[in-house]
Amino acid sequence: MELLTFKRGVHPPHGKYLTENKAIEDLSPNQLLVYPMAQHIGAPAECLVKKGDRVLVGQKIGQASGFISANIHSSVSGTVKDVKPVLTAGGTKSLAVIVENDGQYEEIEMPKPKPYTEMSKEEIAAIVKEAGVVGMGGATFPTNVKLTPAPDKKIDAIILNGAECEPYLTCDHRLMLEETNMIVEGLQIILHMFPEAKGYIGIEDNKKDAIQKLKEATKDIPNIEVKALKTKYPQGAEKQLIYSVMKREVPSGKLPADVGCIVQNVNTVREIYNAVVNGRPTISRVVTVTGEAVKEPKNFRVRLGMSYKELVDACGGFKEDPVKIISGGPMMGMAISTLDVPVIKGSSGILCLTAKQAVLPEESSCIRCGKCVEACPMFLVPSAIDSLGRRKEYEAFEEEHGMDCIECGSCTFVCPAKRHLIQSIRTSKKTVLANKRKK
């Protein structure tokens, strides 16, 4: 079996053995749930409720406030206890609705839509938008926007990202095994929107059971093909996945649609199915709680708004005090200082590392070895753009294509001088964008 891949990249330890064979468990929430209005790329949602209001499961409590924005829905029934800024896992504060769960889980009326085969492309996109579906792989880009490319973009490939290349995380793997048919039908919904396109499901070969399961599920569907990918990081990055599957390169400053592709995470496609077939908004997701510091690592399906602490407690807590807790995976996740943050649409994992795992060496001077260049999947010179950013030479940073960095962390992983390359480059990118907004 030919294994498809991209150029460069790295091979970090997987760490997936802790949870890859753990079936998804449903976890019920405690009393308070917190719903930040910023759970996606773009403008925060506009809050629709106030203190004292009663809300129901599936009720829209946040309205998309722009073209790049997404609706927010309550995952429980109960009373709004407060509307105030809260700390999120990204380290920033967001206005949030705090709901006291009444334990009744009373739902708003959610009429089932007509069959998607009778819907137009525009009707499907409108349902996806209303349901608040965003990229569940971590990018959290509003999905309805991805599904409505400019009319001049000829889409001939819909690629599902089942690579899950981030170490330790197994939520997508378990979804592919346990909710296979939902994922396949979700892809068929997108293919109905783009009848001239073919569907591809890319899965790394360290998930052979998922490859087999999806091949079996799609064997009689002529316009869907499962592609086995070489296990390499960052295989699941959008541009790298497109190259691996289609051998097409997305030019600098361009989007997948410019090369005829739309890429969706398997969890996102499952949510498209849930919205279009069942008429239900995004109010839950699967989260991997893992790391050697956790007593019993697990995969949970949880309602949005639950606290990270609830999930860790449901794993039996810590068997050893963690020296670092990461929201997400070790390569692209964000270190957090507290578990009192809510699960949002982009919360793929909670990684708790022991002192043995989380070695925190001091930076030393760059030795010009070139390892970061050899690893960079975007063909950048990370050491150079890092230096430009640290010197605040932002025009030169842009000229050296610093904004093309996908923040995968491959450069930091291989650096023998332990330079904090990705942190520096990420900060510089944010500064460049902030400076542009001021103009």
Q: Are 352 and 328 in contact (CB under 8 A)?
A: no
Here the tokens at position 289 are 């709680």
376 belongs to an annotated ligand binding site? yes
Helix (H) and strand (E) counts for the chain?
13, 17
Predicted confidence at residue 65, as pLDDT, reads 94
261 belongs to an annotated ligand binding site? no
Predicted confidence at residue 1, as pLDDT, reads 55
Query: H-type helices in 371-420, by residue range?
Result: 371-375, 382-390, 394-399, 410-414
415 belongs to an annotated ligand binding site? yes
Kindly report the pTM of this predicted structure. 0.95
> What's 113-169 look like in SS3?
CCCHHHCCHHHHHHHHHHCCCECCCCCCCEHHHHCCCCCCCCCCEEEEECCCCCCCC
User: Please, what are the averages of pLDDT over each run of 10 residues along the chain (439 residues)?
Assistant: 89 95 96 96 96 98 95 98 94 94 95 94 97 92 96 96 97 98 98 97 97 98 97 96 97 94 97 97 98 97 98 97 95 94 97 85 91 97 96 95 96 95 94 88
Region of 392 (left: φ > 0; alpha: ψ -120 to 50; beta: rest) is left
Predicted confidence at residue 385, as pLDDT, reads 97
Between helix 266-278 and helix 180-193 the angle, nearest 10°, is 80
Q: Are 37 and 97 in contact (CB under 8 A)?
A: yes
d(CA 123, CA 144): 11
Q: Are 242 and 74 in contact (CB under 8 A)?
A: no
352 belongs to an annotated ligand binding site? no
408 belongs to an annotated ligand binding site? yes
d(CA 391, CA 399): 15
- In the chain the domains, ranked by start, together with CATH numbers, are 115-278 (3.40.50.11540), 371-438 (no CATH)
Angle at CA of residue 231, ends 332 and 157, nearest 5°: 85
3-state helix, strand, coil in the chain (%, to 5): 30, 20, 50
Predicted confidence at residue 139, as pLDDT, reads 84
Q: What is the DSSP string of 257-282?
A: GGGTEEEEEHHHHHHHHHHHHH----
d(CA 12, CA 165): 10
Predicted confidence at residue 180, as pLDDT, reads 98
Predicted confidence at residue 426, as pLDDT, reads 94
